[in-house]
Amino acid sequence: MAKEGSVLGSWAFLIGVIAAVILGVMGTLEGNWLIALVIIGLIVGLLNVSDEEVTPFLMSGAVLIIASSFGADVMKSVPTVGNILNALLVIFVPATVIVAIKNVFSLAKH
């Protein structure tokens, strides 16, 4: 998933998903934690997706965003799962937007 030499992007992705799960379980998705997850999402979007992976990443990201958004609403009876899905949204929305913007610029150059 990562570009060659992009160890930071790979680690950001792994740390972000683990942090989202932990913060979702703890139920503390606010303040500095929220900012940290957004920054991780930006790093993932900037560093972690090669040109060949743009389309699969955007498809997967869009599905994950839609499923997490609707799933968090549906899972109100199981708040921990809803919190985890919301935390994943905080990472994947900025990552997906960054990759989509990079893709649009790439298409515009051709």
pTM of the model: 0.86
Asked if residue 79 is part of any domain, the answer here is: yes
Residue 98 lies in a domain: yes
Q: Can you tell me whether residue 34 is helix, strand or coil?
A: helix
| Mean per-residue pLDDT, 6-17 | 86
Residue 55 falls inside a structural domain: yes
Q: Is residue 110 one of the residues assigned to a domain?
A: no
| List of residues 6+ apart from 46 with CB closer than 8 A | 9, 98, 102
Q: How many helices (H) and strands (E) does the chain have?
A: 4, 0
Q: How many CB atoms are located within 10 Å of the residue 19 CB?
A: 17
Does some domain include residue 84?
Answer: yes
Provide the number of structural domains found in the chain.
Answer: 1
The reply to whether 80 falls in a domain is yes
Cα angle 90-73-45, degrees, rounded to a multiple of 5: 20
Q: Judge whether 14 lies within some domain.
A: yes
How sure is the predictor about 82, in pLDDT bands with cuts at 50, 70 and 90? confident
Domain that holds residue 82: 7-105
In a domain, 58, yes or no: yes
Q: Over range 11-21, report the average pLDDT.
A: 92
What is the spatial distance between Cα 66 and Cα 38, in angstroms, rounded to a whole number? 18
Show the tokens assigned to 33: 């934690």
Share of the chain above pLDDT 90, in %: 55
